[in-house]
Amino acid sequence: MTTATTPRRRRLPALAIAFALAAAALSPAAEPSPSPVQADNPIVQTIYTADPAPLVHNGRVYLYTGHDEDGSTWFTMKEWRVWSSDDMVNWTDHGSPLSIDTFSWARQDAWAGQAVERNGKFYWYVPVVNDATGRMAIGVAVADSPTGPFRDTIGRPLVENGEIDPTVFIDTDGQAYLYWGNPNLWYVRLNADMTSYSGGVTAIPLTTAGFGARPGGTSRPTLYEEGPWVYKRGSLYYNVFAAQCCSEFIAYSTAPSPTGPWTYRGTVMPTQGSSFTNHAGVIDFKGSSYFFYHNGALPGGGGFTRSVAVEKFTYNADGTIPLINMTSTGAPQAGTLNPYVRQEAETIAWASGVETERASEGGMNVGWIENGDWIKVKGAAFGSGAGSFTARVASATSGGRIELRLGGANGTLVGTCTVGGTGGWQTWTNVSCPVSGASGTQDLYLKFTGGSGYLFNADWWRFTAA
């Protein structure tokens, strides 16, 4: 928890420049454009994230990710993170409910995993180094909610053979499977308790018919590299995976059963985006299909400082997956955001300069706010008009102002709330101010202004109708 005396530091450079950088890095044919770029991809700008694993539950998408440490020169990863959204554009930060420390037997490497729901419980399968053997093992953590807290209920690896990247899939007949592997591809049949399995660890034959031929591949003749993502659509089973190394691209195979035989189907996402790894996650949500991946598009981004991103896509009529390119715009908004109910300050379409942390009142808050920082909330449905704005704030200094702007960080000013000192970064109070001119559906910008240094923290906000 941050206190008045906790040194505050900025993790990422001011991310306003990310609009331009993301556009330049992601556009397959980067052309100078006279119009401003509407960047909403990558999804998270407050930290580096990797290995996206989306889960749809009760009308929301929960996005489970890894966390690349700032300035990493290796896959230095200590924890996993959770985000959620009901519109694919505004994402709420739920912090880190799972870390290496959750597993008493684990040493390091919080790498690519996936979570699934069964009978009201959430099971998150992750690869970590087993301290006792020094080998990669698969752990499973269990929670009563999609945002945790997650606990290691078995107190040991679920399975261990030195390989990584578990994906979990529950078939329509109720049988659950766990697949994983690099350089091989394995599966087990999970029991109904989801924390044990029956039968042996089975190798999936890596044939070129099943997984494509790797150019010049001798020790690894197929394209399969790592990061499988297995799911079923209709009666067809899909395995979307990271192909070739390095740099990776995303490819897929299909099968008539969860255990094969697999047939290679080609490329889903070409090698793009300044990261030599990529990692797929595929879901359907509100009647559309979405493809999650990662790249190195944020400032300072690269192979070990990655960011998760998303694109909307449509399956071809024959069930094949179209070629999907990385973009800096991402998926269109699926719905609108209601500004008249409490919205977490850490619900963000794009952020410039701020970070998040655990809030003493529960959940997360936005912090490290400095003069000129801002948060974009996309598609706020103001209807016939807002009359006032209230925010929950705290400040160990003398505070600052929240400018409410529409359409851009320097867009139309519809209200200004003054925040004073509260005596601590977690000493919370409400501030309110009148609002005029906010109607219809608008991109809302909370622009923070004030003196030098850190100004205040924000936990949540809400408009009241005029």
In contact, 89 and 378? CB cutoff 8 Å: yes
Q: Which residues share a beta bridge with 465? A: 386
Q: Are the beta carbons of 390 and 462 closer than 8 angstroms? A: yes
CB within 8 A of 116, min separation 6: which ones? 55, 122, 123, 125, 168, 169, 170, 176, 194
Task: Give the x/- contact pattern for ligand FUB in 139-178, rule: CB under 6 A.
Answer: -------------------------xx-------------
Pick left, alpha or beta for residue 22 (phi over 0 → left; psi -120 to 50 → alpha; otherwise beta): alpha
Nearer to ligand FUB, 112 or 351 (CB): 112
Q: Contacts with ligand FUB in 368-387 (CB under 6 A)?
A: none
Q: Are 165 and 184 in contact (CB under 8 A)?
A: no
User: Per-residue x/- mask for ligand FUB, residues 307 to 346, rule CB under 6 A?
Assistant: ----------------------------------------
Residue 226 binds ligand FUB, judged by CB under 6 A: yes
- HSE-up of residue 404 (Cα within 13 Å, Cβ side): 26
Among 15, 26, 51, 417, binds ligand FUB (CB under 6 A): 51
With H, G, I as helix, E, B as strand and everything else as coil, classify residue 433. Answer: strand
From candidates 75, 123, 224, 229, binder to ligand FUB by CB under 6 A:
75
What's the min distance (Å) between Cβ of 79 and ligand FUB? 12
CA angle 14, 19, 22 (to 5 degrees): 105
ω into 247 cis (within 30 of 0): yes
How far is 3 from 289, CA to CA, in rounded Å? 43
**Is the CB of 275 or the CB of 395 nearer to ligand FUB?**
275
Give me the catalytic one of 51, 93, 373, 443. 51
- Contacting residue, 67, 94, 214, 279, with ligand FUB by CB under 6 A: 279
Which position among 86, 87, 109, 225 bears the catalytic label? 225
Backbone phi, psi, residue 22, to 5° = -65, -40
The residue among 214 and 294 lying less far from ligand FUB, judged by its C-beta, is 294
Q: In terms of CB distance, is 62 or 304 closer to ligand FUB?
A: 304
Is 226 or 370 the residue whose CB approaches ligand FUB more closely? Answer: 226
What is the spatial distance between Cα 296 and Cα 46, in angstroms, rounded to a whole number?
Answer: 14
H/E stretch holding 359: none
> Which tokens sit at 383?
């209807």
Is 225 catalytic? The answer is yes
Which of 44, 112, 255, 369 is the binder for ligand FUB (CB under 6 A)?
Answer: 112
Cα separation, 21 vs 15, in Å, equals: 9
Q: Contact, 27 vs 19, CB < 8 A?
A: no
Among 18, 22, 44, 50, binds ligand FUB (CB under 6 A): 50
Binding string, residues 244-273; x marks residues near ligand FUB by CB under 6 A: ------------------------------
Q: Which of 62, 91, 103, 111 binds ligand FUB (CB under 6 A)?
A: 111
Tell me whether residue 102 or residue 114 sits nearer to ligand FUB (CB atom). 114
Question: Shortest Cβ distance from residue 108 to ligand FUB (Å)?
Answer: 11
Considering only residues 42, 54, 66, 97, which one is a binding residue for ligand FUB as defined by CB under 6 A?
66
Q: How many Cβ atoms sit within 10 Å of the Cβ of residue 318?
A: 6
Is 79 a known active-site residue? no
Residues forming the active site? 51, 225
Interacting residue ranges for ligand FUB, rule: CB under 6 A: 50-51, 66, 75, 111-112, 164-165, 226-227, 242, 277, 279
